[in-house]
Structure 1
Amino acid sequence: MEVEMGNSPMEVDTEEENPSTKLNKGKSVVLDLPPSDKKATPWVEKYRPQTLADVAAHRDIVDTIDRLTNENKLPHLLLYGPPGTGKTSTILAVARKLYGAHYQNMILELNASDDRGIDVVRQQIQDFASTQSFSFGAKSLVKLVLLDEADAMTKDAQFALRRVIEKYTKSTRFALICNHVNKIIPALQSRCTRFRFAPLDATHITERLQYVIKSEGLDVTESGLAALVRLSNGDMRKALNILQSTHMASQHLTEEAIYMCTGNPMPKDIEQICFWLLNESFTTSFRLISEVKMRKGLALVDIVREVTMFIFKIKMPSDARVKLINDLADIEYRLSFGCSDKLQLGALVTTFTNARCSLVAAAK
């Protein structure tokens, strides 16, 4: 089912049960570390939300899960969407709220891209689900199995997991996290409440980055912050990684420093490259772009990708724009398979040369 929950959620059983042990694998979780350890901690973990209130984006999803948790009606969950959008942070915050100090004993966290075979389902997951859970006075809580990158599991493992979910529903909840929901078999999808985590909007990323910048006492220019948001493409993890790596290379975080650290072409470079492509001859364009690419250490695939985005800012007939974008997509596709940069740069210049000739002919 989707975010709107058509079926009634599964009730939590209330039998008294005993503690269990678990094997913790997957993404590391940083909780209360000593100050000396926190300095060496990657910022994506240091500033990972610890509670549901700390999760800034997707409040509709977070509030729904929070309400189900408060009512002891937490269903099996399937959280899907692009990386760095808060899927893992949300479910870990739910686990901390549910279990508190008993967190380590009540959750089995596996990275399904590493543990993807049927043996893991039959051994680790089934062993964990079959053991008894904690009893907190008169209240008994279900255990939680967290499967990160569940779309990497084999089909056989997914079918085996379906049977385990059915067998241990009274004592265990399963939370599946993935990027591509179409790789999860329908039998598993139908047993979970599905929530889609869309890429974060610029406002949420900006607010979180400003908090980190203030906490770390960083010197970041306004244009540098805008560059971080632009390069993140809605991925909070990517934004924090870029911020930390640039800080390690430079104390003054400007737009240029951030682009140099990531190796991405700057907007002004793309604008200049597009000017050459649209106005200079084949030979001149090829030579000038080659020089810029060599001098600044740019990857041709990044240039093609940014040029494609820049095309939307250029006034031209829609059919010409569509053809140009399709031709650039073909070049990017060939580059992904390791085709010669020199040949594909020639193809890039040729594509714009042909487009320019067609536009001139249409104007006459």
Structure 2
Amino acid sequence: MAPLVPSSQPWVEKYRPRQVKDVAHQEEVVRVLTNTLETADLPHMLFYGPPGTGKTTTALAIAYQLYGPELYKSRVLELNASDERGINVVRTKIKDFAAVAVGSARKGGYPCPPYKIIILDEADSMTEDAQNALRRTMETYSKVTRFFFICNYISRIIEPLASRCAKFRFKPLSEDVMSNRILHICNEEGLTLDAQALSTLSAISQGDLRRAITYLQSAARLFGSSISSSDLISVSGAIPEDIVKSLLVACKSGEFDVANKEVSNIIADGYPVSQLLSQFLDVIVNADDIPDEHKARICRKLGEADKCLVDGADEYLQLLDMASETIRALFNIPQGLVF
């Protein structure tokens, strides 16, 4: 296969760290894994934490540092959530790959230890039956195969699997770390990003560096080399801050008709209500003029509305219900009382 033309390559891949030591903001993980790579004797591993913090990058970097480009394809099996990973795949594809023994063959300065690696990305989406089927496979072929589990929620990994692995928690990336990486990419790509745009990018990506880089590339393709804060908001699908604040102002008026008009305008403009609820939560939590008791009532309603949306409820009705409860909370009106 011909290599990708540099201009068409996703920046997420173009600027993906190739070595463990280059992974940003995960000092403890990097330190332990760097020492472990020196001996090339790895345990089964479980990487967990928020998306876009370097879990998959770290797993791939370990595999490349162990085997190099020549042996990588034959020694590493990568399975993502998009692949079929039910119990039958565990019993066939994974088991067959794990069962094959390999020898130690140091090539081109790479350790090439006598075992293979199976990387199961988004392992928390595997069924419980499939996870249970892996238990015996891990034990039987532990001499010739290592498993790397990558997930966002460690609570969704069954305890027998988690207990067989060395666990590594990946922290959310701070704004400073993300800004430094984004500025590096801007310098490499010849982009201009002012301080406000940089802050906006950190805010809308919520600690997910992969998402931030994707937004940056999208904005660069659409708006050229000079990117503003509004450009980033438009490509991210985030709702402009003044829209969210105007909804809160309408609720503070205490008039249901005013709030209803604002809700109708939001729905008519096509803004996603689930995204609005998320941003409305941030505004409520950070509001200094709302008592904590009232914040609690509003946040509870936000959670209920979000669950209803996931279950397929009507967006307009849920947003209107949330606005109504916000008015009740702000004016200390008991729940269920019609106003």
Under a length normalisation based on structure 2, what TM-score does the superposition of the two structures give? 0.88
For structure 1, which segment, 176-185 or 88-97, has the greater mean C-alpha deviation from structure 2 after superposition? Answer: 176-185
Distance 1:357 1:248, change over 3 A: same
For structure 1, which segment, 153-162 or 54-63, has the greater mean C-alpha deviation from structure 2 after superposition? Answer: 153-162
The answer to whether residue 125 in structure 2 is matched with residue 152 in structure 1 is yes
Q: Which residue of 2 aligns with 1:246?
A: 219
User: Would you say the 8 A contact 2:263–2:320 is kept in 1?
Assistant: no
User: Would you say the 8 A contact 1:82–1:179 is kept in 2?
Assistant: yes
Q: Which residue of 2 aligns with 1:50?
A: 18
CA distance in 1, matches of 2:2, 2:204: 30
For structure 1, which segment, 223-232 or 314-323, has the greater mean C-alpha deviation from structure 2 after superposition? Answer: 314-323
For structure 1, which segment, 241-250 or 228-237, has the greater mean C-alpha deviation from structure 2 after superposition? Answer: 241-250
* SS of alignment partner, residue 16 of structure 2: coil
* SS of alignment partner, residue 41 of structure 2: coil
Which residue, out of 28, 31, 35, partners 1:60?
28
* SS of alignment partner, residue 98 of structure 2: helix
Q: Which residue of 1 aligns with 2:248?
A: 274
* SS of alignment partner, residue 77 of structure 2: strand
The answer to whether residue 294 in structure 2 is matched with residue 320 in structure 1 is yes
CA distance in 1, matches of 2:274, 2:80: 30
Trace 1:110-149 onto structure 2 (pairs within 5 A): 110-136=79-105, 140-149=113-122
For structure 1, which segment, 317-326 or 84-93, has the greater mean C-alpha deviation from structure 2 after superposition? Answer: 317-326
* SS of alignment partner, residue 88 of structure 2: helix
Deviations 1:144-174 (A, max 9, x none): 1111122222233222221111111112211
Trace 1:341-360 onto structure 2 (pairs within 5 A): 341-358=315-332
The answer to whether residue 72 in structure 2 is matched with residue 103 in structure 1 is yes
Distance 1:149 1:341, change over 3 A: closer
Deviations 1:15-42 (A, max 9, x none): xxxxxxxxxxxxxxxxx985x6222111
Which residue, out of 176, 179, 182, partners 1:203?
176
Distance 1:264 1:293, change over 3 A: farther
CA distance in 2, matches of 1:240, 1:334: 32
Deviations 1:31-85 (A, max 9, x none): x985x62221111111111111221121111110111121233111011122211
CA distance in 2, matches of 1:337, 1:156: 25
Amino acid at match of 1:193: A
CA distance in 1, matches of 2:212, 2:73: 29
The answer to whether residue 191 in structure 2 is matched with residue 222 in structure 1 is no
Q: Which residue of 2 aligns with 1:307?
A: 280
For structure 1, which segment, 297-306 or 228-237, has the greater mean C-alpha deviation from structure 2 after superposition? Answer: 297-306
User: Would you say the 8 A contact 1:108–1:146 is kept in 2?
Assistant: yes
Trace 1:161-172 onto structure 2 (pairs within 5 A): 161-172=134-145
- How far does residue 310 in structure 1 lie from its aligned partner after superposition? 0.7
- How far does residue 280 in structure 1 lie from its aligned partner after superposition? 5.5
Distance 1:67 1:283, change over 3 A: same
Q: Which residue of 2 aligns with 1:185?
A: 158
Deviations 1:310-354 (A, max 9, x none): 112322322122112112222222223332233223223322321
- How far does residue 124 in structure 1 lie from its aligned partner after superposition? 1.9
Q: Which residue of 1 aligns with 2:305?
A: 331
Percent sequence identity is: 35
The answer to whether residue 57 in structure 2 is matched with residue 86 in structure 1 is no
Deviations 1:119-151 (A, max 9, x none): 222222222222232432597432111111222
Distance 1:122 1:331, change over 3 A: closer
Amino acid at match of 1:146: I
- How far does residue 227 in structure 1 lie from its aligned partner after superposition? 1.1
For structure 1, which segment, 311-320 or 129-138, has the greater mean C-alpha deviation from structure 2 after superposition? Answer: 129-138
* SS of alignment partner, residue 316 of structure 1: coil
CA distance in 2, matches of 1:274, 1:215: 41
User: Would you say the 8 A contact 2:101–2:115 is kept in 1?
Assistant: no
Amino acid at match of 1:157: A
Amino acid at match of 1:355: A
* SS of alignment partner, residue 109 of structure 1: strand
For structure 1, which segment, 66-75 or 339-348, has the greater mean C-alpha deviation from structure 2 after superposition? Answer: 339-348
Q: Which residue of 2 aligns with 1:24?
A: none
User: Would you say the 8 A contact 2:47–2:149 is kept in 1?
Assistant: yes
Distance 1:321 1:172, change over 3 A: same
Query: How many aligned residue pairs are there?
Result: 326
CA distance in 2, matches of 1:116, 1:236: 27
User: Would you say the 8 A contact 2:294–2:330 is kept in 1?
Assistant: no
5+ long unaligned stretches in structure 2: 334-339
* SS of alignment partner, residue 120 of structure 1: helix
